[in-house]
Chains A and B, each alone.
Chain A
Amino acid sequence: MTTSLSQQLVNLLAAALLLIAFAMLSQRRVLSLIRLFAWQGMALGASTAIVAYSTAQHHLYYSAALTVALKVVLLPWILHRLIDKLYVRWDVETLINIPTTMLVGIGLAIFAFALATPISEMASTVTHSTLGIALASVLLSFLMMIVRRKAVPQVIGFLSMENGLFFAATSATYGMPLVVELGVALDVLVGTFIFGIFFFHIREQFDSLEIRHMEKLKED
């Protein structure tokens, strides 16, 4: 198996992406979660840049720059400000204990890999073998949203799910058209703001960011 250095680097970064997804799943602290999220954005940006270099797809440079700007700098900064203002630096509680979550996560990863293997054989991109990883990160982020009790980690899970999707797009088809990517990036940004506003409202209403309280809103 002879693979070019860039492909190896992409594979390594893909592995790092998956690793960070798992790390987020196991993390208890909100601050560390944000830091991990920033790292994930970094890995994503780097891998996009490498793909851009190796395939000479120039629009990918823009998406790489955009990713770094948005996901490594801007969003973590917003999240930091959010938790400062909301004063929610405490540990995250999980619904299921962490080792069990991890085991479920491994099962999901195997499932994703099995699912992606036939698809990635069809794709002709240099990065096709990372499709399984992308899918796995999406599923893992989803899992993280399910098992967290507090609103802030759920949002981070949502954002990291977007990371996984972005990575999948890069690995399967060298990314979406730039316009679409810009649109998605804007959506994510706006989404974060809206979430932020919601957080304040939720806290005013219930004096806590515990998702459990939302159950009271249900009409009986």
Chain B
Amino acid sequence: MIDAAGIAFQIVQSVLAVLIGPLYVGWVNQCRAWLQNRSGPGLLQPYYMLARLFHKEPVIAEHASPLFRATPYVLFGCMWLAGGIVPALATDLPFAPAADIIALVGVFALARVFLSLAALDIGTSFGGLGARREMMVGFLAEPAMLMTLFTAAFISNSTALTTIVETLAHREFAIYPSLAFAAVAFLMVLLAENARVPVDNPATHLELTMIHEAMILEYSGRHLALIEWASAIKLFAYTAIGIALFAPWGIAEGSNWSALPVALVALAAKLVLAGAGLAALETVSAKFRLFRAPEFLSTAFLLAVLGMLIHFLGRG
């Protein structure tokens, strides 16, 4: 089952996920700037920022424990793994069977737990606040995410992402109401999990309602760079999951070299669209009060459950 093409695809995809992540974030920011009638910092700004941060000397608190220093690396490793096994380019990834969608949710949970622990490590008030809120959003988002994925899993009778992609890409054209529900729910979870408006604001700093930024306040230098980079990969990975579940056309199947250029172009097009859509969404919505977040996410959960129920009903 492992062949040269598969390994090549795997390597291309993993490297691509890591390299393309900041570009994708740059694109979202650029779109947002345009929509807000600003000129915007340019697509490559996230790379410049990463480079600058890597060059800087990190400053950490006196009583920071080893866990604090290890967390950025763990985070980066988790996100790399996630970016590597989501079939964004091809389904013939030798590593992809190592983790199905449930395990993927587990990877994100692992990263979240480590980041929250690191936030608590310094013992500052902002850190604890951020960790607490992050875990709150997390525990609400995780069941919603799983229900979304379950709906897709029921349609294709598998939790392996590659199988789901292959099934969904090959079905005859049919409108699945259940999948539409799941897509909306997934979008809501994506917004919450990636610290986007309306749950959190990625552009904020020093705001009492911040979540993600409050957790990484104490980080600087290379640690901060790794965390930012990991967040970018995470956004990319989530988008790639969304693409795989709801718009899987164009992803290369089998060990077929010729499909690669098509897959690349398709992926690029989809990312451009997704990024623009995300920016538009963020522009038109306002940030919620913190305690509206449970309502937001329970709505996402509800949508996912409804999608699943409708799927069962349609079959019955």
Contact = CB atoms under 8 A, between A and B. Distances in A.
Do any CB atoms of chain A lie under 8 A from CB atoms of chain B in the complex? yes
A76 B303 CA distance: 26
- Which of B174, B303, B310 counts the most chain A CB atoms within 10 A? B310
Interface stretch (B39-47, B261-269, B292-300): B292-300
B148 interface: no
A109 B303 contact: no
B187 to A, nearest CB: 14
- Which of B178, B294, B299 counts the most chain A CB atoms within 10 A? B299
B66 interface: no
A109 B309 contact: yes
B313 A113 contact: yes
Nearest to B316: A117
A106 B305 contact: yes
A12 B181 CA distance: 10
A95 B178 CA distance: 30
Contacts of B175: 8-9, 11-12
B181 A15 contact: yes
Contacts of A9: 175
A133 B310 contact: yes
B177 A11 contact: yes
B308 to A, nearest CB: 10
Contact of B174 (A8, A16, A18): A8
B306 interface: yes
Given A8-B174, A109-B309, A102 B298 contact: yes
B316 A99 contact: no
Contact of A102 (B177, B302, B312, B315): B302
Contacts of A109: 306, 309
A22 interface: yes
The majority secondary structure among interface residues of chain B is helix
The majority secondary structure among interface residues of chain A is helix
B305 A1 contact: no
A33 to B, nearest CB: 15
A15 B302 contact: no
Contact of A132 (B180, B294, B298, B313): B313
28 contacts: A3-B174, A8-B174, A9-B175, A12-B175, A12-B180, A15-B177, A15-B178, A15-B180, A15-B181, A18-B306, A18-B310, A19-B181, A19-B303, A19-B306, A22-B302, A22-B303, A22-B306, A26-B295, A99-B295, A99-B298, A105-B302, A106-B306, A113-B312, A113-B313, A117-B313, A129-B313, A129-B314, A133-B313
Given A22-B306, A106-B305, A106-B309, 14 more contacts: A12-B177, A14-B177, A22-B302, A26-B302, A98-B298, A99-B298, A102-B298, A102-B299, A105-B302, A106-B306, A109-B306, A109-B309, A129-B313, A129-B314
Interface of B: 174-175, 177-178, 180-181, 294-295, 298-299, 302-303, 305-306, 309-310, 312-316
Interface of A: 1, 3, 8-9, 11-12, 14-16, 18-19, 22, 26, 98-99, 102, 105-106, 109-110, 113, 117, 129, 132-133
